[in-house]
Every structure is written in C-alpha cells, then in structure tokens.
Amino acid sequence: MNIAENLNSIMETIQKSAKIKNRDPKEITLVAVTKTIPPENIQEAINLGISHIGENKVQEITKKYEIIGDQVTWHMIGHLQKNKVKYIVDKVDFIHSLDSYELAQEIEKRASKIDRNIKCLLEVNISGEESKYGLSPDEVKPLLEKLQQLKYVSIVGLMTMAPFVEEPEETRQYFEGLRVLSQEIREMNLINVKMDYLSMGMSNDFHIAIEEGANMVRVGSRLFI
C-alpha cells in the first residue's frame, strides 16, 4: 500500500468536491478508518498528517490506543454496546454511533466519573435499511429533547451510512436527507445540542457527501489499499 499517494488523492478529491459548492476544504475533517489496519501503518498515516482515527470496535481502540496514544483524536464509529462504554470513555473524543437514551445514560455515567465531556453524534438510519443500526429520522427529535438534560454527553451532530451502491450518485438523496434533518434540529434551539458536524461519506461516496454538506468523512479502504 502507498499511503502517501492514496492520501494525496483523497485530499485532492476533498478539495474538488468542496469547491463545487464554494466551500473551504479546510472545514472538512478526514477521519481515517483503521479497521483491521496494523499500528505501524496507522503510524505512517499519522506521520503524513492524519490526525483523526476512526475505529469500529472497542477492542481495536483499546489495543491500538496502547501503542498510538493521544497523538490523534479518536472516534468510535461502530455500533457501541452499553457494557463496552467503560473501556473507551477515557480514550475517545467522539462517539458517532449514539442511538438510544440508555446508551447516552451509560456514557454520561462513565464520563462523569472521570469528569470528561464526550462529543456524540446521533446515528441515523436515513435509508431505512434493516441491516443497519441507527435511529429512524422520526426518532431523532424526541430523543434529542431527552438528551438536553445530560451534562457530560454533548450532542454535536449527526452521522449516517448510505447504502453501498455501484453508482455513488444514488447516495445523494440520503446525504441530502441528513442535511435537511440537521437544519431542522438547529432551528429547534435545544440546550446542549449543536449541529456542528455531519459525519457522512465513506471511501466510495465521500465526494457526494461533501457536495451535500458533510464536514466529517470516514475513509478507510481508499487510504489503506
């Protein structure tokens, strides 16, 4: 794998996609997804300028954190079970997969013990696929109303995964849907709820996501091939 060449290609795509919508490419955060990637390759990516790492599994975060530590900002992007929160609450800065009040309560409980604020994004199953985790769009606003009372869980945005399709253009409707939902939430003026981040777009479709407002893209296979 040539991580340097791959990273250059990704950054060029980010710049092109941002300029299509007259956006500043610097406002878009690239989260390198390091699922199954060994620490030495991750370190190479860090040396090339990667500063945000996303992992799908708690055990991967705990193992790699021992080696890499806080050189980077850590993102938990995969499904998170309540009984695993205690293992990562002192390590991750962002959790992209908040999908229930019960999970939020557990994060709150664990984070309060170490006086640490955790930035969380609600995971929205915008496409309605049965195989995917996440809230339905109709469940998002009622949950946010309840989350306002939490102190150590800060809601900072929304995350989604579009269906994997041959033609990336077909994902546009889902990214647009999440952007519209984000705008509606912003207008609600909820306490402790911000819509700073739209985490959407992966290796095959992040250029479309950026055109539709993503400012956090999760790229793995295209970087580590």
Confidence at 102, pLDDT banded by 50, 70, 90: very high
224 in a structural domain:
no
d(CA 85, CA 95): 10
d(CA 41, CA 10): 17
Domain of residue 8, residue span: 3-219
pLDDT tens sequence across 105-143: 999 999 999 999 999 999 999 999 988 999 999 999 999
d(CA 56, CA 220): 11
225 in a structural domain:
no
103 in a structural domain:
yes
What is the average pLDDT score of the chain? 97
Where is average pLDDT lowest: 19-28, 81-90, 159-168, 169-178?
159-168
Average pLDDT over residues 190-214: 97
pLDDT tens sequence across 44-91: 999 999 999 999 999 999 999 999 999 999 999 999 999 999 999 999
Which CATH number covers residue 209?
3.20.20.10
161 in a structural domain:
yes
Long-range CB contacts (< 8 A, 24+ apart) of 9-16?
9/222, 10/219, 10/222, 10/223, 13/206, 13/207, 14/206, 14/207, 14/210, 14/217, 16/207
Q: Residue 166: its pLDDT value, please?
A: 87
% of the chain residues with pLDDT over 70: 100
> Is the pLDDT reported for residue 2 higher than 90?
yes
DSSP 79: -
81 in a structural domain:
yes
The gap from C-alpha 19 to its chain's centroid, in whole angstroms, comes to 22
Confidence at 154, pLDDT banded by 50, 70, 90: very high
Query: For the chain, how many structural domains are there in total?
Result: 1
d(CA 47, CA 105): 37
20 in a structural domain:
yes
Q: Residue 1: its pLDDT value, please?
A: 82
Average pLDDT over residues 154-164: 96
